Amino acid sequence: MDRSTESNPEEASIAPFVHIRGGGVSVVADTSGGVPAIIHWGRDLGDIELASVADALALPVPFGALDMVAPLTIVPCHGDGFAGPPGIKVHRNDGTSWAPRFTAMSVRHPDSTTLVATAADVVAELELTTTVGLDRHGALTVSSTLRNTGEGELWVDALDLALPVSRDAAEIVSFGGRWGLEFQSSRREWSGGSSISETLLGRTSHESPPLVMVGTSGFGEWSGEVWMAHLAWSGNHRVGAVRLPDGRRYLTGGDLLHPGEVCLAAGESFTTPPLIGSFSPNGIGTASRRYHRLVRSMAHRAENPRLRPVSLNTWEAVYFDHDGGKLRSLADRAAAVGVERFILDDGWFGARRNDQAGLGDWTVSPDAHPDGLDPLIQHVTGLGMSFGIWVEPEMINEDSDLFRAHPDWTLETPGYPSVRGRGQLVLDLARPEAFDHVLTQLDALLEDHEVEYVKWDHNRPLVQGSDASSRAGARRQTLALYGLIDELRARHPGVEFETCSGGGGRIDLGILGRTERVWVSDCNDALDRQVIQRGTSLLLPPEVMGCHIGPPTAHTTGRTHPLSFRAATAMFGHLGIEWNLLDCSDRELDDLASVVELHKRHRELLHTGDVVRFDPSDDAGMAGGVYSADRSEALVSYARMSSGASLTPPPLRLPGLDADALYRVTHVAFPSETWGMASSHPAWPAAGITLSGAQLSGHGLQLPTLLPERAFVIHLLAG
């Protein structure tokens, strides 16, 4: 019998091997053991006889090892003799069922891009269903559901997923950061062992974003084979890369559970968050863009595609000073410079005159807004802008009506002193009464006011959070968050949501399945933002990345930058303003208006094109931008980050364009733009230059000498 399933996917139930394909990627899985083992994830193999893949890659049994090679399944099992960290850790009250071994029950291959395999352990009384799918752009998604088929309780301590990669993956990039400096990357040789990143802070976190990348030696933006894995989950997690003693390598990820957090009664199930992998045969850029296309294909975006409006957020302009006259004047100036959405940040509700009170009371404060919000909203919409508002529904202050009425609704552990953050406690949304209370208040807010946008914040970690049953409640809190946003979206389908968590503390594809935008960082310092946005762009396309022009002196760092650098940095995202325009001179307002107009001119390209990044060619520069899908247009920025060892930057080389096309290259000038000291600069920026795509890739384009912390932007248009 031909064991290939290419000709008739429905026949997969009788074949041990399954081949799924999409977006130039092949995944070959061995399903004979019940839990699929991926034996190839990489370049498209074409129409092949699948048994030949297994025959070609069969491992020898080395001396001193077990008599068989334990399979590297999507959920690795200790009971199979697997030498690495087990993907499944479970037990019953009597300590049994702790090392399951599964056998195949059924395999479904309903189409050329999907595999669903169900396995069982009749001794441990467990059933495990694993789903593998490739989208049309080549993004690989895996998840598993564990069901307790026995009579007694089953405690789940871990259910982690594995995506095997080639042994040629010789280097690893991991991601870290902190508040105000998110998505920082670190690269090293992957010579052995494991590299694991995890968080137990109850959110995606600033410190450990759930993303890992490996590749062949020296891989870059445009070269080398690259594998990435991202866990689409907004709570506690573990991701990383593991190298086994026999040389096999894999990426891993899963929900990081507290002790006793998940207990399955008879018939109950536990489903992992999706682990999403991306492979590229030609560098980081292709792997990154698979994630971008996945984000753009999410239902709430695909059904309502539109260019992202320029916004103004009031936080750094007024903080808690919600004077009606000041807010209306701010709105006047915002509209005058071309802003399309006005977002009222923290301070409009309850007793919220500072950050120690009011959270939990989502009703308009008569102190801050004695006539309600409608006069301000009408003023804003009368200026042609839409209105947005800030909330932080997962938190509660002790100085609030809600806490005074229900102090037992907090997510903490009785008998211990409260662990506060920013004067806040966490509201237990998994408690039905608390969930319903918040839903009712937010539903009324959106029903009673012309609000088109909600900035949803989450400003503190979750620590020692026990639910009403005294068990760890972090996972249920994350699921309740998802349920709350889902219900609000169902009731108010015209309202858009932004995810913020002290800036970039909740950036993942789980929350992005429910929101239109992320607030990338609380830091608006353009120098730091260049690095933060570059790291974030590995996962997210520009139109969902909130990038704001802040004041000349950044509130978070104290560094001062000209408008040209701040604007060129914020240009490559969802543009916004976080600047008190009431302090601006007429010249500054005119310059800002010209920046907004410039962004709108290029917005369709920025928000629909392919993100490109260029490998550093010197020690002081950072370059990247956006190409249109058909490569007929591009917008590219070179940022001078520091003085560097060279007096002048090297020629900027732009790979990936149409080699035969002729491009008209022009300098995009920003207000207040200055270059570095030089007796002469290249002549081409004054009048433009026409070069072929082959030239731009082959010899590049010399840029002028630039001062540190300045940017130079070019536009390319094929003739």
Sequence-ordered strand ranges (E) for 578-676: 610-614, 621-627, 633-640, 662-668
How far apart are the C-alpha atoms of 428 and 476, rounded to whole Å?
9
How far apart are the C-alpha atoms of 40 and 45, rounded to whole Å?
9
- DSSP lists the bridge partners of residue 349 as 364
What is the DSSP track for 283-349? -HHHHHHHHHHHHHHSHHHHTS--PPPPEEE-HHHHTT---HHHHHHHHHHHHHTT--EEEE-S-SB
| Ramachandran angles phi, psi of 686, nearest 5° | -70, -35
Residue 658 burial (CB < 10 Å; 0-12/13-18/19+)?
Answer: middle
How far apart are the C-alpha atoms of 568 and 195, rounded to whole Å?
35
Structure tokens belonging to residue 701: 């384009």
| Ramachandran angles phi, psi of 442, nearest 5° | -70, -35
Residue 665 region, left (φ>0) first, then alpha (ψ -120 to 50), else beta? beta
The residue written with tokens 């598993």 in the block is 144
Residue 711 burial (CB < 10 Å; 0-12/13-18/19+)?
Answer: buried
Sequence-ordered strand ranges (E) for 538-579: 545-549, 574-577
Report in angstroms the alpha-carbon separations of 602 from 511, 532, 533, 634: 28, 22, 18, 9
Q: Which residue in the list 457, 528, 591, 610 is annotated as catalytic?
A: 457
Report in angstroms the alpha-carbon separations of 192 from 160, 248, 376, 552: 20, 10, 60, 46
Amino acid at site 169: A
Measured distance between the N- and C-terminal CA atoms of the chain, rounded to whole angstroms? 56
CB 344 within 8 A of CB 388: yes
CB 147 within 8 A of CB 266: no
Structure tokens belonging to residue 669: 């000038």
How far apart are the C-alpha atoms of 321 and 368, rounded to whole Å?
8
- DSSP lists the bridge partners of residue 450 as none
How far apart are the C-alpha atoms of 541 and 85, rounded to whole Å?
34
Is 457 part of the annotated catalytic residue set? yes
Is 168 part of the annotated catalytic residue set? no
Report in angstroms the alpha-carbon separations of 586 from 342, 591, 625, 671: 20, 9, 31, 13
Q: Which residue in the list 346, 467, 522, 591 is annotated as catalytic?
A: 522
What is the DSSP track for 364-402? B-TTT-TT-SHHHHHHHHHTT-EEEEEE-TTEE-SBSHH
How far apart are the C-alpha atoms of 570 and 549, rounded to whole Å?
6
How far apart are the C-alpha atoms of 103 and 37, rounded to whole Å?
13
| Ramachandran angles phi, psi of 408, nearest 5° | -85, 0
Query: Which residues carry out catalysis?
Result: 457, 522
